[in-house]
Chains A and B, each alone.
Chain A
């Protein structure tokens, strides 16, 4: 993992001191709330329905055990004993006091963490494949590029007041676990004809009110030209992105208005002018890259009684089927930790659970912890012979729900329980659906099934790319839910199509079940829900949900 050097630490200390001064000026009345708002947002501090919320950056979803314990400590000292992992792979504390914020930032800085650019119209935390450095199907470790992007985008003098927020994802696997195509920029690592690596560059994807799957504006960008190219994209956007309407200010609107080809031409012309001067020297990429070479692997380690226990213990076998993924090295596995316990709030984790994850990462996981955009955690490097012990410990702490990628592995935004923007609740809808599909055999029989719930059109719960998307709307003061089908945030990215009229809250879970039952009736051998839907169209599902209303 990358370790901060003296320069990284100094940047953080200076920024923390700056924010302390800004909070002081606000509390002293020297800054109006209007002036303070963009400043606090640049430091991840939101004013929510009931309290301030602090969003802490987890750069490209990577944490070490010391950092995880510091988060647990903050949850206990400054919050109500828990935190919430978000779809941006960050963690939020929902109950902080403004006056405590500088002290929290100091506590974070002590372990090289911060809340810089977790909000505001700037370049946000970059998303990486949570299996980076571990996935069997990976071309190259994308975290090297993510860390370089983190540094380049931190306190960028030219691009800190963009028309709107800006999110970049990097993935190096054919299976996209980052939702790259619905980011402002998606970078897909590719091998060039010359054997070097480069990126397919996707620009202008996004969700919110106007969802788009981003178009490719360059099929191959040599990786050593990445930063001049990013500068060109950001500059075109900073100059020409709309600033008159917050809902039309994302880069996706500019790309759609110009057309991908015309936008690409503008970028290429600007890129030409910037030249290699805008690139990062190879030596710096190599320096960063060296931090991600993992020295602690054992060649062909024994797998101990892994297979025997798997054969003998059905509950363990189920965990292995759903929560253990293939590692690039023999004898190792990737352990998914579900933060989707049945009836729990998706993404929530208690301070004690954080401590446990830190301990397990330290003892069995090379000190490496990842957060995923699907609001789960990952121990990317666990020896197969240790998986059983890890599972036992997770299970005892309620963290071993064997439901990764299954129907109860639901993304939900905080919704009306916390958020000042929400129209409807999201958490209780997720909880109710998860309870309905609690039986694990049934969930496994249904197979890969992604439900994503947003409490408003801003789509923090990614409903547009849910196999079933559920969007909360307000109808004359009552919570209603609009269903969409067929979305995907993966390599086959698609925006879901609206199924029919919005449903009242007490009919949502029934509707989901009706859709699932229709799928089980319609599906052919080996088809996932998405495959069946793409083959049949939405008629059988529409019929299943709305038939009784006729």
Chain B
């Protein structure tokens, strides 16, 4: 079972993954489920009527994040897939999800997820990670906290250098 690392209040911890990924044609088993973007769009009514368990959706890099805007209120988890770790589209998706769509739920990095991107992911708004490189919560935390200063605004609350320098 791959680990799930979640950040809460700046700390990283390994937690149990309560979400079960289900195929597009499979019946809803109840509980926390993770569905594809097309199932979410297609099965809107049925999924909306669920009375137990939370809903998560998995987006591939080519899925347009803006299309989530309508159903987003019912979604507790957005999993953004990295088919290859070099594919940088999920960084943009996460940042827009947080800053433009105002999503407050969990944004999870899945797929080819390496700790060398931990800092960038956190800055773009990811708060949950399924590492593909055997990272533990502590190695992940170390990687994510590597840089004491940042130059840009992103989706996190970090103070960019140009603000730190104000009043110097």
Contacts and interface: CB of A to CB of B under 8 A. Distances in A.
Nearest to B123: A157
A155 interface: yes
Contacts of B85: 35, 38, 161
A277 interface: yes
Nearest to A5: B165
Interface in B74-103: 85-89, 91-92, 95, 100
B149 A157 contact: no
A157 B119 CA distance: 8
A293 interface: no
A239 B153 contact: no
B146 interface: yes
A151 B160 CA distance: 10
A155 B92 contact: no
A213 B92 CA distance: 28
A35 B114 contact: yes
Interface in B113-152: 114, 116-117, 119-121, 123-124, 133, 143, 146-152
Of B117, B123, B148, B161, chain A has the most CB atoms within 10 Å of the CB of B161
Of B120, B146, B150, B151, chain A has the most CB atoms within 10 Å of the CB of B151
A287 B114 CA distance: 37
B166 A283 contact: yes
Contacts of B133: 31, 35
B116 A39 contact: yes
Contacts of B92: 158, 235, 238-239
A343 B149 CA distance: 47
Contacts of B166: 281, 283
A287 B89 CA distance: 33
B154 A278 contact: no
Contacts of A5: 165
Contacts of B143: 18
B120 A157 contact: yes
B69 interface: no
Contacts of A163: 88
Interface in A202-253: 235, 238-239, 243
B151 A10 contact: no
B164 interface: yes
Contact of B162 (A22, A156, A284): A284
A243 B146 CA distance: 29
A90 B151 CA distance: 22
Nearest to B119: A157
Given A152-B152, A273-B100, A284 B88 contact: no
Interface residues of B, number: 34
Contacts of A11: 147-149, 151, 161
A238 B152 contact: no
Contacts of B61: 243
Contacts of A280: 162
Given A157-B124, A158-B95, A7 B152 contact: no
Contacts of B146: 14, 17-18
B86 A121 contact: yes
Contact of B164 (A7, A14, A277): A7
Contacts of B153: 277-278
A152 B151 contact: yes
Interface string A284-303: 10010000000000000000
Contacts of A121: 86, 88
B152 A162 contact: no
Interface string A480-500: 000000000000000000000
B86 to A, nearest CB: 6
Contacts of A162: 88
B152 to A, nearest CB: 6
A281 B166 CA distance: 10
B87 A161 contact: yes
B100 A151 contact: no
Contacts of A160: 88, 91, 120
13 contacts: A8-B161, A11-B147, A14-B149, A17-B146, A151-B161, A151-B162, A155-B120, A157-B95, A158-B91, A161-B87, A238-B91, A243-B61, A284-B162
The 7 lowest CB-CB distance pairs between A and B, nearest first, are A161-B88, A157-B123, A284-B162, A157-B120, A151-B151, A158-B91, A14-B147
Given A156-B152, A161-B87, A283-B162, 16 more contacts: A7-B164, A15-B147, A17-B146, A18-B146, A151-B151, A157-B95, A157-B119, A157-B152, A158-B91, A159-B88, A160-B91, A161-B85, A238-B88, A238-B91, A281-B162, A283-B166
